[in-house]
């Protein structure tokens, strides 16, 4: 009888201590996925595309979550479309590279900001709630300029050409002479 009582006490204290010392992981906050803030969702991918975050690389596929700070890259003859949490749609053309590191959106207040950096290639933008609430908080950046958004549907194209040394002129020229 004592062994049964001792076993019951041991199980009771063992279960109590296990529940007392363990913590259940906090549920991700709205817009977060496993510690990452969700910026949007990939809606379509044609050909090859990748999501890059530091040293991590994921193959892009429809339905994947796009996380804060990720860069979306498309290969030759490829395209990808992302819908951001505010409803903004970004459609990338072939050989494009876009950085999504500055995006915040509160669905309750409809406040936030968006800065998309297009490093190369082409991108069609159909703006969402952020540009309707406050267009000054939506910007598109290229290597040579920053565009304030005033329209609701537009295309941005960036052609990257390496600088060339022109020995005859004694200087760097950013564009080939015709």
Per residue in 14-30, pLDDT (tens digit) is 444 443 333 333 334 44
Give the per-residue pLDDT at 133.
Answer: 86
What pTM, to 2 d.p., does this model score?
0.70
> How far is residue 6 CA from its own chain's centroid?
56
DSSP 68: T
The answer to whether residue 130 scores a pLDDT higher than 80 is: yes
Per-residue buried b or exposed e for 18-36, using 16+ beta carbons within 10 Å of the residue's own CB: eeeeeeeeeeeeeeeeeeb
DSSP 77: T
Q: Residue 51's closest CA among 38, 64, 63?
A: 64
Tell me what percent of the residues of the chain surpass a pLDDT of 90.
Answer: 44
Our CA angle for 53, 93, 158, nearest 5°, is 85
């Amino acid at each position: 009888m004592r062994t049964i009582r001792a076993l019951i006490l041991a199980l009771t204290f063992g279960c109590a201590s296990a529940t007392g010392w363990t913590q259940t992981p906090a549920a991700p906050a709205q817009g977060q996925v496993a510690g990452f803030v969700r910026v949007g969702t990939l809606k379509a991918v044609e050909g090859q595309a990748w999501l890059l975050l530091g040293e991590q690389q994921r193959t892009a596929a429809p339905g994947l979550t796009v996380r804060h700070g990720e860069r979306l890259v498309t290969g030759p003859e490829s395209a990808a479309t992302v819908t951001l949490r505010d409803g903004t749609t970004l459609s990338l053309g072939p050989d494009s590279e876009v950085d999504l590191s500055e995006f915040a959106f509160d669905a309750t207040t409809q406040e936030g900001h968006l800065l998309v950096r297009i490093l190369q290639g082409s991108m069609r933008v159909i703006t969402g709630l952020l540009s309707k609430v406050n267009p000054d908080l939506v910007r598109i950046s290229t290597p040579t300029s920053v565009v304030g958004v005033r329209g609701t549907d537009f295309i941005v194209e960036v052609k990257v050409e390496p600088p060339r040394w022109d020995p005859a002129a004694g200087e760097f020229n950013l564009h080939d002479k015709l």
